[in-house]
Copies of this chain bind each other. A is one copy, B any other.
Amino acid sequence: MPKPEVDPTVSLELSVDRSSPVPLYFQLSQQLEAAIEHGALTPGSLLGNEIELAARLGLSRPTVRQAIQSLVDKGLLVRRRGVGTQVVHSQVKRPLELSSLYDDLEAAGQRPATKVLVNTVVAATAEVAAALNVAEGSDVHRVERLRLAHGEPMAYLCNFIPPGLLDLDTEQLEATGLYRMMRSAGITLHSARQTIGARAATAAEAERLAEPEGAPLLTMQRVTFDDTGRAVEYGTHTYRPSRYSFEFQLLVRP
């Protein structure tokens, strides 16, 4: 009688394509992630040890380790020395990416609509100049947008973008998100500094979001940097707290 199977990866049909330009470790990590997502690898189950897994796939141990490590960084796996690697019990969804509101809503299954209120060039105020690291009074793009879901306003977004980075087409702004436009313009987003707070709505804000004056609003300010360190966007956003809140997963850095 065969001994009971303890390594769930053996029945997983893992395989790598050496002729593909996709790195081997990436192929493996994708397959493992899909297996976790799909439920083939259940939470708490132990992966077989790295050496055997490498031998089975015809890979070296460093390559297998690199694949596993990327999933550990994502919070999907936990390694324990002397024990093994196991799938985390808790359901990890998104470890807080730098996503736009557009992407957020789209991921939530909603079909966000965007109305561009303003798309012009203005002189940078002291606040904007400091955030974008440009001279006060110099030209910057100013974009004001209203995000709607189910016909109701959800958020008012005001963004400032340095000149020359991007072709800010109004139609494109309404069809997709600002971040997506930046990425397709060849800008490599790197990091962002955010501040989330709350305050009472002013008369103008209340009007825009169809809320009573003085109603609580959720606010977010963000400066986004590309990988050369340039500030590529400064945004001041207000959200209707009854329609939107920030939800995300945090990972503890070991």
Interface positions of A (Cβ within 8 A of B): 43-44, 62, 73, 75, 78, 88-90, 92-93, 95-98, 189-200, 214-218, 225, 227-231, 241, 245-253
Contact of A250 among B44, B192, B252, B253 (CB under 8 A): B192
Copy number in this complex? 2
Q: Which residues of B contact A92 (CB under 8 A)?
A: 191
Q: Are B190 and A251 in contact (CB under 8 A)?
A: yes
A-B contacts, 29 listed (Cβ < 8 Å): A43-B229, A75-B190, A75-B191, A88-B191, A88-B229, A89-B229, A90-B225, A90-B229, A92-B191, A93-B193, A95-B253, A98-B250, A98-B251, A190-B252, A191-B250, A191-B251, A191-B252, A192-B250, A194-B249, A194-B250, A195-B247, A196-B246, A196-B247, A197-B218, A198-B217, A198-B245, A200-B215, A200-B216, A216-B217
Q: A195-B245, A218-B197 are in contact. Are A190 and B78 (CB under 8 A)?
A: yes
Residues in B neighbouring A75, C-beta threshold 8 A: 190-191
The answer on a CB contact under 8 Å between B249 and A192 is yes
Given contacts A194-B249, A198-B198, 16 further A-B contacts (CB under 8 A): A43-B229, A75-B191, A89-B225, A89-B229, A90-B191, A90-B225, A97-B252, A97-B253, A190-B252, A191-B251, A192-B252, A195-B245, A195-B247, A199-B216, A200-B216, A216-B216
Most chain B beta carbons < 10 A, residue from A191, A214, A253: A191
Residues of the B chain whose Cβ atoms lie less than 8 Å from the Cβ of A88: 190-191, 225, 227, 229
